Amino acid sequence: MHLSAFMPSRVDIFCKIVDNFGDIGVSWRLAQQLASEYGVTIQLWVDDVALAKQFAVVGHPRITLQHWHATAAFTQAADVVIETFGCELPAAYQQAMLRQRSIWLNVDYLSAEPWVESFHAQPSPQANGLVRYFFYPGFTPATGGLLREASLPALQADAQWQAVGLTAAPDLLTLSLFCYAHAPLAALVESLQHSLNPVRLLVPETIAPMLADTLGVSKLQVGERIARQNCTYYILPFLSQPDYDRLLTLCDFNFVRGEDSWIRALWAGKPMIWQPYQQSEDTHLRKLEAFMDHYLPLSTGTTAEHSLRNAMLAWAQGTWQTEHWQALLQAWPQISHHATAFKTRQSQQADLVTNLVIFIEKCLAHRV
């Protein structure tokens, strides 16, 4: 545990759960790392406590879940308040922050776009007298970095299939699938069923209804297995965050989405495809291109680079074809090496919470 002369004993974190998983997934990891590695007591304010408890599982002795609702009473603000993803702090709490002279940070969405470096850690004075600092995760030293707890390497090194309720399948390529509803799932199913290498696809229960529609079955239950040609589908239960990290490490290939699973797939060091959240005017494709510019330079001009870039764009645009999967298979040794190399290179940078604590310490040390 790291101790600091300036970090306060309590930090409040606010999170609105707008897409069921991403917001609370990131917020819970952030809270856990602050509590476990820096000994900070956390009040995590969420608008859906029941869903938050699915991520908390057994909880944490230094983290308390608080219900954030329209009539919630806010008596005293913390010295440091973290707003996640621009969720807008309650007016009553902001008044308490004024009395407490709180430091206010908005930990925003992860992006690889170049503008992030210019906006990271910049102050935004508010009309009520508070100053709101924007803290941007990112892939370069000029950003806030990526969430990466100190315990992650040990968890990955000890990962076993039994921990996630499965057995090893050395004769199959094992893939995990976490995607949005607009993913070209039918095309993926077609390509995997005609895969040159036999595969098994691990699908969480939240995606099972989509897969059932694609396969033409009425329903798929947790624990069910269904084989079609060269692909076998397994339906997984909801996994805790540590078990999901283990799963990504054990799989040969991971389809991920949004933010939390995206970061975790990168740390798994396995070949992956990221699906950004779909936005108007193809904004999500610009975000994808920016990420690929960071992710792919280690293999620029190679077959692996072309295969990955084409596959990621096709997955995001809904134009996936069997040829994309076949191209990935043909470049498998190269894309596997690339994933490991990217993880190693990115791990050399400071993680998000380390950078966040350093920034908070500076703000508190200079507070007047």
Any idea which residues carry the catalytic annotation?
A: 23, 259
- Per DSSP, the residues of 10-70 read EEEEEE--SSSSHHHHHHHHHHHHHHHHH--EEEEEES-HHHHHHHHTT--TTEEEEE--T
Alpha-carbon distance of 105 to 121, in angstroms, equals 9
Among 164, 146, 356, 154, residue whose Cα is nearest residue 265: 146
Helix (H, G, I), strand (E, B) or coil at 135: strand
Burial of 62 (0-12, 13-18, 19+ CB in 10 A): middle
In DSSP terms, 338 is beta-bridged to none
Q: Which residues contact 153 (CB under 8 A, 6 or more apart)?
A: none
CB under 8 A, 24+ apart: contacts of 328-333: 328/253, 328/271, 329/195, 329/196, 329/197, 330/303, 331/302, 331/303, 331/304, 331/307, 332/271
Residue 236 Cα to chain centre, angstroms: 19
Residue 145 Cα to chain centre, angstroms: 13
Residue 203 Cα to chain centre, angstroms: 17
Alpha-carbon distance of 340 to 309, in angstroms, equals 17
Q: How many other CB atoms are there within 10 angstroms of residue 32's CB atom?
A: 23
